[in-house]
A and B are shown apart, each in its own frame.
Chain A
Amino acid sequence: MSKESTVKTLTSIGRDVMDAILEGEFPSLHFPDRSTDNIVYDGVTNQFVLGDSSTTRDSSNLRHVRSFAQLIWVAYFAKKLTSAQRTSSLRDLYYSSEAYGVKFSNQAESDRIVTDLETLTGLARENFGIFPEERSSIFGDVRMRYTVSGYENQEVCLTASPDGFPIGRALMTAKPVDASAEIILAIESGGMFSRLIETGAWKRYQAVLIHLGGQPPRATRSLMRRLREELELPIFIFTDGDPWGMHIARVIIGGSANSAHLRGLAVPDAEWIGVTPSDIVNHSLPTEPMNNADLKRLDELLHDVRYAGPVWQDYIKAFRELRSKAEQQAFSRHGMDYVVDTYLKEKLP
């Protein structure tokens, strides 16, 4: 979404509110209901979406007026960030509010209001320049053209830094130009990400490497989706072999309940390569027994609509039988290069 259309969307919210006040009416805002009852899994697009139920925030309601005012301020703040091409974090936004005489009880409240604005506009907060603290990284033979101010039309090859590039506002808004890479390989742990850069595995497999660092920030998911769409690079996901790693992959593929109000994040045809339960067995990886939290998570996932497909059900059942888990690094028991030379060779096209 371009800066101009983001600004336009935000401005129109202000216009509606002003029109109401000038006419002596109580301004109100309508947006889809985000309560869990209204989050449904859309089998067609294979992601979570919000249902038909909607909510009204009415400034004539004494219980609404506070969050109404907060929402208008967040919209104003977002517009300022966007227009000035500045970025902020959720935490920074929370602290900034004080300077404007707007009160939030805690950061959870301001975070919730930011999500309200996302729901209202249908835009991810990264469009408004509000980024999470943590950053993912990307490395690979892709050229991106910046659109952020001061770097307009500069192109960068994402191999230029051997540590990879953090995925922030600049990369998120940059336009993919071309790539010699043929696939995207998203990796859960930083250690494996570095290993694949250092060993030149990225060259060997012609892969763009993305370090997820746990559940990836939405900027990363949105970038992955754009690379998938605009450069037609298929995505492979390589995580730890446990329910949490599997779920990282599943969220990239099908979206999360928390971002059901947003589109443009899911990559339905991304593929989880492992570590699968059978990998643990076939590669005789050193394992740890699953703890209660792991087992409980497996039970939850078993009944999760996103895991309804037979492949996922098989994974979950296999994990439950195995009752143990293995990290990506576990391949090191067979030597430093085993993962590149043997495992990935097996898994990647």
Chain B
Amino acid sequence: MSSQERSVQKFSGISPAEFFYRNRQMAGFGNPTQAVYSTVRELIENGLDACEDAGKAPEIRIKIVDEDSDNVTVTVKDNGTGLPYDEVAQAFGRILYGSKYERRQKRGTFGLGVTMAILYGQITTDSPVLICTRFGEGLGRAYRLLIDIEKNAPILLSETTKRQHSLGTSVSICFKGDLKRAQERVLEYLRLTTVGTPNARIIFNIDDEIQGCIGPWTSEAPKTSIPVKPHPRAVDVELIQRLLNECESTTIRDFLVTSFQQLGTRTASKLLAFMNIDPKTPLDVLTRQDISRLCQGMRHYDGFCSPDSKCLSPIGEASFTAGVRSTFNTSFLSYGRQGVFEWQGNPVILEGVLAVGDSFSVSDTPTLYRMANRVPLLYDASEDIFTKVVRQTSWRRYGFSKPQPAALFLNVSSTRIPYRATGKQSLAHIMEIERETSLLLKVLGRFLSKKVSSGGAAARNVKKRREYSELIGIVAKYGSELADFDSPPPTEHIVQRLFEVSEDE
């Protein structure tokens, strides 16, 4: 244990805050435009998570003010349950602190993003973050805090009582940013956010110039995700150590049974036998090598059931299609889903909507909109696994025999999203996800292909009927004059006869 503590302390000595500040590109704060987008994104995600934790339909208010000398202030207010007052400083003022370590689907991970935004604001404008929250009865409170980068600890500048009418939290960050250039992306992000979270209402105000309200598109609440214990195949050394620290068991078998899912006493015994470890080994004699060996064994043992998926909250067919339909002009929608499947012990669900409509540009492949845990991904599309699979799909065989005005919305839900970088903008190339995405696109493509052929035929029939009716009308008109009739005979019965017969065929 002592060696472990030393290594953690050593890591702390480098300070995660400092590390992340130095590598801010990775976190999406590489330039003033991206900084605006990333700040908005982190605060919105935090807000949405807070609302969902509270079991409320999210109502997010976002205000962006572009002050002089490129100082941009972003304020996001949610209608969650607010934050316990004694946790506010730690939650916002310290990197790698937060409630999001639990194993369930969340938008943010580890609360890293918001802290990064605060840190960025602090460095570029030397101004503190302003947090107002009301938790439970009574008045709310307002906090101004900075982050001590070296110590990775909050510096609380002020804590005051502030009247707040409803529960929830508002976070306000001032930083150097380029609002004008980021504006389009921000608006697109907000719009697409309501596709991924269709029961949310987003009220926005950008510099008092652009104001509006998007959503909600459905009143249906998303499936609640329930925290689960980690799956044994999802372990790494760091996780086992953390679980060991939290664990009250004394033997290694008890530890496994209480700390992991899909691991009962029987499976635990088998696993330990497989690794040749005595089930009664006390935890406190485990060395770092033992833990590493345990970790290896758990990752390679194939006797576990698939990971539990109740920790996931996919958008769902009704909500997803409602979101797409409300945000874009569509004439055709199809929804498909793959999974639950597993990626390194993490359950994954893939959902997709293939839409056709005049909102989209006409192309021989659909325009791709990516989402991960309902969060729209707007940058780095070219490196994304979804982009790769869309490119590899032969759309010509799936309804694109001629170019279509179509778009493809993909959402991956998982307890762990394999982002390529901390900026969380593109998905890494994971074999399982690639395979399932490819299958999903084919399912959706087949829907479209069916629709194109039958819809096209129906449209052609209507057109044919109209043309036929017109021409037979000409026959009747001039035929009657030719025959010295006073007026042309009706022809509708002839048209009907022809088209009813051909429709029966």
A21 close to B (CB within 8 Å) = yes
Instruction: Give the contacting residue for A26; candidates B467, B478, B482, B494; CB below 8 A.
Output: B494
CA distance A10 to B483 in the complex (A): 8
Instruction: Give the contacting residue for A13; candidates B467, B482, B494; CB below 8 A.
Output: B482
B493 and chain A: residue at smallest CB distance: A24
Instruction: Give the contacting residue for A69; candidates B475, B494, B497; CB below 8 A.
Output: B475
A96 close to B (CB within 8 Å) = no
Which of A60-68, A248-256, A270-278 is near enough to bind chain B?
Answer: A60-68
Knowing A62-B464, A69-B475, the reply to whether A75 touches B493 (Cβ < 8 A) is no
CA distance A26 to B467 in the complex (A): 16
**Interface size in chain B (residues, C-beta < 8 A):** 22
B125 close to A (CB within 8 Å) = no
B474 close to A (CB within 8 Å) = yes
Inter-chain contact A75/B478, CB cutoff 8 Å:
yes
Inter-chain contact A18/B474, CB cutoff 8 Å:
no
Instruction: Give the contacting residue for A68; candidates B467, B475, B494, B497; CB below 8 A.
Output: B475
A307 close to B (CB within 8 Å) = no
Instruction: Give the contacting residue for B498; candidates A60, A68, A76; CB below 8 A.
Output: A60
CA distance A62 to B494 in the complex (A): 13
A78 and chain B: residue at smallest CB distance: B482
A14 close to B (CB within 8 Å) = yes
B21 contacts which chain A residues (CB < 8 A)?
A: none
CA distance A72 to B472 in the complex (A): 10
Inter-chain contact A65/B478, CB cutoff 8 Å:
no
Which of B364-372, B447-455, B484-492 is near enough to bind chain A?
Answer: B484-492
A101 close to B (CB within 8 Å) = yes
Interface of chain A, main secondary structure? helix
Interface of chain B, main secondary structure? helix
A12 and chain B: residue at smallest CB distance: B483
B227 close to A (CB within 8 Å) = no
Inter-chain contact A21/B468, CB cutoff 8 Å:
no
Knowing A21-B489, A24-B497, the reply to whether A69 touches B482 (Cβ < 8 A) is no
CA distance A14 to B482 in the complex (A): 5
A205 close to B (CB within 8 Å) = no
Knowing A59-B475, A62-B468, A72-B474, the reply to whether A22 touches B489 (Cβ < 8 A) is yes
Inter-chain contact A21/B485, CB cutoff 8 Å:
no
Inter-chain contact B475/A11, CB cutoff 8 Å:
no
Knowing A26-B494, A60-B498, A73-B478, the reply to whether A18 touches B483 (Cβ < 8 A) is yes
A123 close to B (CB within 8 Å) = no
Interface positions of A from 98 to 141, Cβ below 8 Å from B = 100-102
B213 close to A (CB within 8 Å) = no
Inter-chain contact B479/A18, CB cutoff 8 Å:
yes
A156 contacts which chain B residues (CB < 8 A)?
A: none
Inter-chain contact B479/A14, CB cutoff 8 Å:
yes
CA distance A301 to B482 in the complex (A): 43
Knowing A26-B494, A26-B498, A65-B472, the reply to whether A21 touches B484 (Cβ < 8 A) is no
Inter-chain contact B483/A14, CB cutoff 8 Å:
yes
- Min distance, Cβ B459 to any Cβ of chain A, angstroms: 15
A11 contacts which chain B residues (CB < 8 A)?
A: 482-484
Chain B positions 50 through 94: 1 when the CB is less than 8 Å from some CB of chain A, otherwise 0: 000000000000000000000000000000000000000000000
B482 and chain A: residue at smallest CB distance: A14
A17 close to B (CB within 8 Å) = yes
Inter-chain contact A72/B493, CB cutoff 8 Å:
no
Inter-chain contact A65/B468, CB cutoff 8 Å:
yes
Inter-chain contact B489/A18, CB cutoff 8 Å:
yes
A79 close to B (CB within 8 Å) = yes
- Min distance, Cβ A123 to any Cβ of chain B, angstroms: 15
Chain B positions 416 through 436: 1 when the CB is less than 8 Å from some CB of chain A, otherwise 0: 000000000000000000000
CA distance A65 to B475 in the complex (A): 9
CA distance A14 to B485 in the complex (A): 9
A303 close to B (CB within 8 Å) = no
Inter-chain contact B471/A24, CB cutoff 8 Å:
no
Instruction: Give the contacting residue for A73; candidates B472, B474, B485; CB below 8 A.
Output: B474
Knowing A14-B479, A72-B479, the reply to whether A21 touches B474 (Cβ < 8 A) is no
Instruction: Give the contacting residue for B471; candidates A10, A14, A25, A65; CB below 8 A.
Output: A65
A65 contacts which chain B residues (CB < 8 A)?
A: 468, 471-472, 475
B491 contacts which chain A residues (CB < 8 A)?
A: 21
B389 contacts which chain A residues (CB < 8 A)?
A: none
Instruction: Give the contacting residue for A72; candidates B464, B467, B475; CB below 8 A.
Output: B475
A77 and chain B: residue at smallest CB distance: B478
A72 contacts which chain B residues (CB < 8 A)?
A: 474-475, 478-479, 482
Interface positions of A from 12 to 32, Cβ below 8 Å from B = 13-15, 17-18, 21-22, 24-27
CA distance A25 to B491 in the complex (A): 10
B150 close to A (CB within 8 Å) = no
Which B positions have Cβ atoms within 8 angstroms of A?
464, 467-468, 471-472, 474-476, 478-485, 489, 491, 493-494, 497-498
- Can you identify 26 A-B contacts, CB atoms within 8 angstroms? A11-B483, A14-B478, A14-B479, A14-B481, A14-B484, A14-B485, A15-B483, A18-B479, A21-B476, A21-B479, A21-B494, A22-B489, A24-B493, A26-B494, A27-B479, A59-B472, A59-B494, A68-B471, A69-B474, A69-B478, A72-B474, A79-B482, A100-B478, A101-B474, A102-B474, A102-B478
Known: A26-B494, A65-B475, A72-B479. 11 other contacts (CB 8 A): A24-B493, A27-B479, A59-B472, A59-B494, A66-B467, A68-B471, A69-B472, A72-B475, A75-B482, A79-B482, A100-B478
